[in-house]
């Protein structure tokens, strides 16, 4: 009796739950958690600015009904409520679509409105962005409320070097060109350089290891989200613009005072590092991506498709293999990338702004959806008829699963690498495939090996489908 685990196809749980039911329930709970994170992110910005939900992002059930959907999904998938796998999966796809509307798209619109839309610019990334001679402050997490005020305040202090980590960093890089030191997997390395005076975190993808790690160095850990507190950290809440300015000043003062505690040895070691910052072209968004040119390239066969490379970089996966796969695909595809994948591609010198475009943080995947919509409109078709693929090759968090299924609900084919969000060999995966095909004209592909993924992509990719084939549904491909 619990936790629910899939054993074999024929076996059922003591309660009678089948393998398919357990798989479907797990997927629904995963999407609910991902949607809660994105919708919560958007709601926190609304709370911060005191604004109301814009009409175009309001779900059919009214403002706030997305949270009821999330709650109902958790209720439905708890012990002994629903027992129909198809109903769970139907809800999962509906919730993924809501995540796109009230999470990704709303958060992106609010960030653009309140903190400015990105513009194309040069940026630098990796740990070498830290400066031994300066007071280093790293900002980490996802929500941008403090960091915009912090960046403004930091620019008044010539001795301060502000760097970003993870999606707070990706968003700062896109909007203000602030250097990006690391993504999720390398967040500990930032502190372990020994030359970071303060790490300021908001929420999501912040490792619980950070308080322990900061104990080993002089780094002051500062939390700013009322939701996401860490034991032992200095908590400076940011609930309004006024508080953001006050916290920015306090955080900078705290970091400056802390520099005297830096270990001279750590500073010397950092100076001896030979690594150089990686150059990148960043700040792409739906308004500056040259959609007409990409649509023309699709039409004349100069490129075979557009791929979204999104989601996490899982240390258990073959990250180098995936980077090589996208490098290879960029020869005849345009690649739009966000979040940790964008950092990883950048770390390998691939964000040149020629074929691979940095589109910002994970909630900024809304920009990919908008680019897809515009490209489809320019080509006179629907998203489902276009050679688009969104690939999430190394998912770690529930958020990346919700994002992937959001694109599937838009009619875009999606690829997931391991750990798979649903066991592709279960009947539940078959139900999901049929649902995607029948109701959304999309397909989900599960493949954990970069080489096999490339071979599959090469096999299914032709030039853009000729007009007479448009509208025809493609077959579900399962590897």
Write out the residues near ligand WCC by the rule CB under 6 A.
166-167, 183-184, 205, 311-312, 339-340, 362, 396-397, 399-400
- Residue 336 is encoded by which pair of tokens? 């739009």
**Min. distance of Cβ 167 from Fe ion in angstroms?**
3
In order, the DSSP letters of 189-252 are HHHHTS-EEEEEE-SSS--TTHHHHHHHSSPEEEE--SS---TTPEE----SHHHHHHHHHHHH
C-beta closer to ligand WCC: residue 339 or 450: 339
Kindly tell me the burial class for residue 177, based on how many C-beta atoms sit within 10 Å of its own C-beta (0-12, 13-18, 19 or more): middle
Distance CA 219, CA 196 (A): 6
Identify which range of 78-86, 175-183, 276-284, 334-342 contacts Fe ion by CB under 5 A: 334-342
| Site map (CB under 5 A) of Fe ion, residues 162-201, x = contact | -----x----------------------------------
**Min. distance of Cβ 245 from Fe ion in angstroms?**
25
Q: Is 40 in the site for Fe ion (CB under 5 A)?
A: no
Kindly tell me the burial class for residue 1, based on how many C-beta atoms sit within 10 Å of its own C-beta (0-12, 13-18, 19 or more): exposed
**Min. distance of Cβ 358 from ligand WCC in angstroms?**
13
C-beta closer to Fe ion: residue 294 or 342: 342
Bridge partner list, 138: 163, 199
**Min. distance of Cβ 186 from ligand WCC in angstroms?**
11
Peptide bond into 167 cis (omega under 30): no
**Min. distance of Cβ 397 from ligand WCC in angstroms?**
4
**Min. distance of Cβ 354 from Fe ion in angstroms?**
25
Distance CA 174, CA 183 (A): 14
- Residue 253 is encoded by which pair of tokens? 């003062």
CB of 88 within 8 A of CB of 28? yes
Task: Name the binder of 397 from ligand WCC, Fe ion, none, CB < 5-8 A by kind.
Answer: ligand WCC
Instruction: Name the CA dihedral angle for 52, 53, 56, 58, rounded to a multiple of 10 degrees.
Output: -140
Question: Would you tell me how many other CB atoms lie within 10 Å of the CB of residue 246?
Answer: 15
Task: Name the binder of 171 from Fe ion, ligand WCC, none, CB < 5-8 A by kind.
Answer: none
Residue nearest to ligand WCC (CB): 312
Q: Which residues, 6 or more positions from 103, have their beta carbon under 8 angstroms from its beta carbon? A: 35, 37, 38, 39, 41, 42, 66, 363, 402
Of 337-356, binders to Fe ion (CB under 5 A) are 339
C-beta closer to ligand WCC: residue 118 or 339: 339
**Min. distance of Cβ 398 from ligand WCC in angstroms?**
8
**Min. distance of Cβ 315 from ligand WCC in angstroms?**
11
Distance CA 27, CA 92 (A): 7
DSSP 474: P
Task: Name the binder of 184 from ligand WCC, Fe ion, none, CB < 5-8 A by kind.
Answer: ligand WCC
Which strands, in side-by-side order, build the sheet including 356-358?
A: 356-358, 333-337, 305-309, 388-392, 413-416, 444-446
C-beta closer to ligand WCC: residue 258 or 448: 448
Task: Name the binder of 400 from Fe ion, ligand WCC, none, CB < 5-8 A by kind.
Answer: ligand WCC
Grouping H, G, I as helix, E, B as strand and the rest as coil, residue 358 is strand
Task: Name the binder of 311 from Fe ion, ligand WCC, none, CB < 5-8 A by kind.
Answer: ligand WCC
Task: Name the binder of 125 from ligand WCC, Fe ion, none, CB < 5-8 A by kind.
Answer: none
413-416 and 444-446: which strand pairing? parallel
C-beta closer to ligand WCC: residue 33 or 460: 33
C-beta closer to ligand WCC: residue 161 or 397: 397
Task: Name the binder of 270 from Fe ion, ligand WCC, none, CB < 5-8 A by kind.
Answer: none
| Long-range Cβ contact pairs of 8-14 (< 8 A, separation 24 or more) | 9/426
**Min. distance of Cβ 31 from ligand WCC in angstroms?**
14
**Min. distance of Cβ 262 from ligand WCC in angstroms?**
28
Kindly tell me the burial class for residue 60, based on how many C-beta atoms sit within 10 Å of its own C-beta (0-12, 13-18, 19 or more): exposed
Identify which range of 34-42, 279-287, 335-343, 423-431 contacts Fe ion by CB under 5 A: 335-343
Identify which range of 49-57, 362-370, 405-413, 454-462 contacts Fe ion by CB under 5 A: 362-370
Give the binding site for Fe ion (CB under 5 A).
167, 339, 362
């Amino acid at each position: 009796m619990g936790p629910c685990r899939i054993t074999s196809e024929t076996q059922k749980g003591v309660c009678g739950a089948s393998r398919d039911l357990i798989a479907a329930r797990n997927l629904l709970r995963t999407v609910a958690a991902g949607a809660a994170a994105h919708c919560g992110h958007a709601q926190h910005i609304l709370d911060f600015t005191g604004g109301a939900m814009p009409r175009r992002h309001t779900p059919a059930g009214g403002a706030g009904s997305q949270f009821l959907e999330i709650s109902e999904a958790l209720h439905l998938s708890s012990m002994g409520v629903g027992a129909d796998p198809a109903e769970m999966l139907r809800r999962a796809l509906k919730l993924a679509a809501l995540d796109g509307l009230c999470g990704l798209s709303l958060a992106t619109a609010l960030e653009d409105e309140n903190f400015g839309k990105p513009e194309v610019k040069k940026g630098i990334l990796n740990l070498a962005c830290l400066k031994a001679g300066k007071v280093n402050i790293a900002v980490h997490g996802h929500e941008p409320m403090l960091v915009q005020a912090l960046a403004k305040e930091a620019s008044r202090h010539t001795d301060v070097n502000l760097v970003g980590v993870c999606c707070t960093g990706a968003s700062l890089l896109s909007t203000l060109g602030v250097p990006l030191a690391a993504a999720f997997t390398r967040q500990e390395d930032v502190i372990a350089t020994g030359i970071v005076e303060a790490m300021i975190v908001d929420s999501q993808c912040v490792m619980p290891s950070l308080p322990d790690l900061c104990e080993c160095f002089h780094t002051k850990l500062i939390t700013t989200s009322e939701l996401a507190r860490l034991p032992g950290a200095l908590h400076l809440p940011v609930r309004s613009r006024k508080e953001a300015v006050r916290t920015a000043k306090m955080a900078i003062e705290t970091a400056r005072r802390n520099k005297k505690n830096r270990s001279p040895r750590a500073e010397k070691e950092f100076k001896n590092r030979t690594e150089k910052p990686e150059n990148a072209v960043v700040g792409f968004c739906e308004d500056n991506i040259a959609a007409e040119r990409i649509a023309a390239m699709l039409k004349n066969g100069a490129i075979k498709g557009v791929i979204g490379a999104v989601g996490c970089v899982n240390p258990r996966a073959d990250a180098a293999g995936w980077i090589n796969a996208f490098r290879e695909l960029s020869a005849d595809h345009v690649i739009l990338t966000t979040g940790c994948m964008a950092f990883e591609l950048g770390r390998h010198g691939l964000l040149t702004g020629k074929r691979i475009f940095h589109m910002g943080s994970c909630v900024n995947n809304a920009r990919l959806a908008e680019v897809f919509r515009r490209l489809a409109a320019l080509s006179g078709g629907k998203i489902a008829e276009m050679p688009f693929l969104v690939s999430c090759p190394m998912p770690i968090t529930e958020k990346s699963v919700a994002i992937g299924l959001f694109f599937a609900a838009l009619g875009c084919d999606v690829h997931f690498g391991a750990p798979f969000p649903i066991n592709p060999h279960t009947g539940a995966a078959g139900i999901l495939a049929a649902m995607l095909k029948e109701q959304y004209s999309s397909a989900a592909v599960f493949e954990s090996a970069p080489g096999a993924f490339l071979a599959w992509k090469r096999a299914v990719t032709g030039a853009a489908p000729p007009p007479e084939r448009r509208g025809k549904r493609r077959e579900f491909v399962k590897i």
